[in-house]
């Protein structure tokens, strides 16, 4: 304000008699340099207790000094804002937040502008005094893939447990590796992509604000050949149980089969208890007390086939008839 008054026609002649032009230009330069918007806040973290969310961050390390902050929340990463809360300090506590998953970031503000966003945090509010979800999702199940030329189509199911907010597809050059591709597909349960010729070992991870799930079943996908995954499903036979020992047998669908994926879950269709490769058409192992739902899929170098019929296996407590 003082500099603008000095530059008015009423003051300029008197100023010229007192200040050299070099000092005048220096004052103008200082005024321009001082108009700097703040940089983005740093190290945003969130904690949740019931339906109360606490957000804490650090001031920006670049730009001008902030005079306040704005906390912004969306229902999806990069989605439209559902809340924008002005804050003077570097802490915000919000109570009575509705159950849900929120994507939150912070901006710095001063008289010269607004910063870019801070890092984004995912806030999952369990609600009900902690009675909601507060753990990672279950592993995705029923991952399968088809190949047409150089195009791969993948699909999977999300079952039980706390909801997933995103899925990550991992592909490797050998079983268990992720050295070829790691693709975050958001909340989708399908992925279509092009790939060069080769053989890929693929699985999917589900994630939410509390962490990542175990991996889904792994499938083998071969691109650039004329081969096809097994086109028929195996047939599960009636299992046998002796104490805690379970024996499973199934009939091969025939054709080009190099192995099988054995799946077992705590509910029909689930794979939360077992998801493993086995080379033959039988499997024997120990199981805890309970009822399990089991199925098998045939595998070859071009992918994974359809699931067999599902059988239930019940292991009784010792001493029960």
Q: How confident is the prediction for the chain on average, in pLDDT?
A: 82
Check if the beta carbon of residue 115 is closer than 8 Å to that of residue 60: yes
Indicate the SS3 state at residue 25. helix
Q: What number of residues does the chain have?
A: 321
What radius of gyration do the chain's Cα atoms show? 30
* pLDDT tens, position by position, 206-226: 988 778 889 999 998 888 766
Query: What token pair was written down for 89?
Result: 């300090």
Check if the beta carbon of residue 223 is closer than 8 Å to that of residue 197: yes
Stretch(es) of the chain classified as CATH 2.60.40.10: 42-125, 135-226, 229-321
User: Which of 260, 256, 255, 257 is CA-nearest to residue 294?
Assistant: 260
Check if the beta carbon of residue 173 is closer than 8 Å to that of residue 135: no
Say whether pTM exceeds 0.85. Answer: no
**pLDDT given at position 110:** 92
* pLDDT tens, position by position, 188-200: 899 998 888 888 9
Which band of pLDDT confidence, cut at 50, 70 and 90, is reported for residue 34? low
* pLDDT tens, position by position, 280-306: 899 998 988 999 999 999 988 777 888
CATH hierarchy code of domain 135-226 = 2.60.40.10
C-alpha distances in angstroms, 256 versus 72, 88, 156, 223, 315?
54, 67, 23, 16, 34
Choosing among 2.70.70.10, 3.50.50.60, 3.20.20.330, 2.60.40.10, the CATH entry for 229-321 is 2.60.40.10
Which band of pLDDT confidence, cut at 50, 70 and 90, is reported for residue 126? low
Q: Give the whole-number percent of the chain exceeding pLDDT 90.
A: 36
Check if the beta carbon of residue 209 is closer than 8 Å to that of residue 281: no
- Per CATH, the architecture of 42-125 is what? Sandwich (2.60)
Answer with the residue of higher pLDDT: 20 or 142: 142
Separation of alpha carbons 315 and 64, rounded Å = 67
């Amino acid at each position: 304000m003082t500099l603008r008054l000095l530059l008015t026609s009423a003051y300029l002649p008197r100023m010229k008699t007192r200040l050299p032009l070099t000092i005048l230009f220096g004052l103008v330069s200082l005024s321009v340099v001082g108009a700097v918007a703040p940089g983005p806040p740093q190290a945003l973290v969130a904690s949740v207790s019931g339906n109360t969310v606490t957000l804490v961050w650090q001031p920006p390390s670049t730009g001008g000094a902030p005079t306040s902050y704005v906390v912004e929340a969306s229902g999806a990463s990069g989605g439209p804002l559902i809340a924008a809360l002005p804050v003077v300090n570097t802490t915000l506590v919000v109570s009575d937040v509705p159950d849900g998953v929120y994507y939150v970031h912070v901006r710095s503000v001063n008289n010269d502008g607004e910063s870019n966003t801070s890092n984004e945090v995912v806030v999952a509010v369990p609600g009900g005094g902690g009675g909601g979800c507060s753990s990672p999702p279950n592993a995705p199940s029923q991952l399968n893939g088809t190949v047409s030329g150089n195009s791969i189509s993948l699909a999977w199911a999300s079952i039980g447990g706390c909801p997933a907010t995103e899925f990550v597809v991992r592909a490797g050059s050998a079983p268990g590796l992720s050295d070829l591709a790691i693709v975050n597909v958001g909340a989708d349960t399908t992925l279509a992509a092009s790939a060069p010729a080769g053989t890929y070992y693929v699985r999917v991870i589900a994630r939410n604000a509390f962490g990542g799930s175990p991996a889904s079943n792994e499938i083998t996908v071969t691109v650039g050949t004329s081969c096809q995954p097994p086109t028929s499903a195996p047939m599960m036979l009636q299992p046998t149980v002796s104490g805690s020992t379970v024996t499973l047998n199934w009939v091969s669908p025939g054709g080009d089969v190099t192995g099988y994926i054995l799946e077992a879950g705590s509910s029909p269709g689930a794979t939360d208890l077992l998801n493993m490769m086995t080379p033959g058409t039988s499997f024997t192992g120990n199981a805890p007390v309970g009822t399990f739902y089991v199925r098998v899929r045939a595998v070859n170098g071009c992918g994974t086939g359809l699931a067999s019929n599902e059988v239930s296996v019940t292991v009784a407590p010792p001493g029960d008839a």
